[in-house]
Amino acid sequence: MTHKPHLTTRRGFIATAGMGGTALYGLWVGYGAAPGPLALFGATHADDMTDIADHAAHAAPQIDTMTPEAFEARVQDFIQRFGETDGSVRPRLADIARETRSDKAHDGHALLEHGDHGDHGATTHGNHSATTPHAESAAQVDVWLQAGQFFFAPWHLRLETHQPYRFRMMATDVAHGASVQFGRGGRMIRLRPGQLVDTEMRFSEAGDYLIYCTVYCGAAHDTMQAQLSVTEGGAA
């Protein structure tokens, strides 16, 4: 004698499976491992959290070419230029502007040594106009971030609120992912080996956040993280 499953049993199973799948999806979204529901309309999960990160910061990543060796050299230069005594890296617009003024002043002195006074005068005027408060507030700061087995370099970034940043990222061995968390939301970027990926970000709330790999890359994948500390703009 054949026993057919009762109709209510089938409905209960379907309902239970549906609720379980919905709960699992919600957990993935919460951890930044899946796009938010607005992604169906062209928005990213980070766009759902405009109170955490500025809406304009979530343009589609741009992909460019650079050799892994050249990229790693840029990362090491970035760490050396802006490294703090505690091992963190803090790229500040004021420091970049100071470097730019120093480089231009050095070039101006070189021109004077060759008797070109006219160019030196033009360089001095350019420095003055480029360092006005309005110009500095609109300038973008590059953040270089390397992904490798099983690390991010630098491992600790110190950034400021309301400052536009361009994250320049690359996986230098195997495929990785970078989920940049903004507290309750996040921004996910896929990193393929040898591809330079640029994406713009701006943070509107101070706090300690997390960057972690979202693509399984080996046995120590779960330990691949970096710290992101965001302070109020202009804070010491």
- Name the average pLDDT for the chain: 74
Residue-wise DSSP of 50-78: TTTB-GGG-PPPEEEE--HHHHHHHHHHH
CA 221 from centre of chain: 19
123 touches 111 (CB < 8 A): yes
- Residue found by looking up tokens 């002043």 in the block: 105
The mean pLDDT of 105-126, rounded to a whole number, is 50
DSSP 4: P
Greater confidence, 200 or 15?
200
Sign (positive or negative) of CA dihedral 48, 229, 83, 190 = negative
pTM: predicted TM-score of the whole model, two decimal places:
0.63
Structure tokens at 146: 């390397």
175 touches 153 (CB < 8 A): no
Q: Note the pLDDT of residue 187.
A: 87
Query: What fold, for 40-91+140-231?
Result: Immunoglobulin-like (2.60.40)
**Angle of helix 93-113 relative to helix 68-82, nearest 10 degrees?**
100
Distance CA(8)–CA(21), nearest Å, equals: 20
Q: Is the pLDDT of residue 82 over 80?
A: yes
Smallest Cα–Cα separation from 212: which of 173, 174, 178, 182? 178
The mean pLDDT of 140-151, rounded to a whole number, is 97
Q: Where are the beta strands (DSSP E) in the chain?
A: 62-65, 141-148, 151-153, 156-160, 165-171, 176-181, 186-191, 195-201, 207-212, 225-231
Domain definitions of the chain by residue range? 40-91+140-231, 95-135
